[in-house]
Amino acid sequence: MVDTILAFVSTHGYVAIFSFLVLGIVGLPIPDETMLVFCGALIARGHLKLIPTLLVSFLGSVCGITLSYIIGRTLGLGFVHKWGRFIGVNDQRLDVVHSWFNRIGHWALFAGYYIAGVRHFTAIVAGTSSLEYRAFAAYAYSGGAVWVCTFLGLGYYFGEHWREIFELVHRHLTIVSFALLALAGAYALFRWQRQRRASN
């Protein structure tokens, strides 16, 4: 699937980049970071131009995360619990992100881009929590800009070696992501048990 998406990006350029980022950030299984690093390598080779690639990548991430926010804000948790499995959302992950969002709030929107399987969750939780759009946009869009620049920059800087470098970075990000999610889950369980004992 990855090679198919990269081939599609090579053929269709900016339209493909924008479309895949929207779908990936909403929750479909699109290898967003891999695609961005590949696009950075294409910029280095001269197959894509820097500014248009930056713009469509940023707009794709913004549209995708805004759509997730709108789903949470307008359709609520009932819709998410019923239909979330089609975009990779399940109750367990949603509960963990809820706990994380309640503790570090807005920064979860900014940092969530870098944590595997969390980007669209933070936006949905922000929407269901009725976080006002201005605050959502400030953190989510700035986080998206930094995320896009990070992975495009990796591909651009390492050029032909983009795949090896990305695999190394992705491996470490995955380890950190699971560690953070495990800590958030443990903290949520601790708080729940403490509240339960206090109410008895």
What one-character-per-residue DSSP string does 135-188 give?
Answer: HHHHHHHHHHHHHHHHHHHHHHHHGGGHHHHHHHHHHHHHHHHHHHHHHHHHHH
The predicted pLDDT at position 15 comes to 94
CB contact set of 149 (below 8 Å; sequence gap of 6+): 54
Per-run averaged pLDDT (10 residues), the chain, 200 residues:
79 93 86 87 90 96 92 74 60 61 69 72 79 86 92 83 64 57 59 65
Domain span holding position 45: 2-199
The predicted pLDDT at position 111 comes to 78
Number of structural domains (the chain) is 1
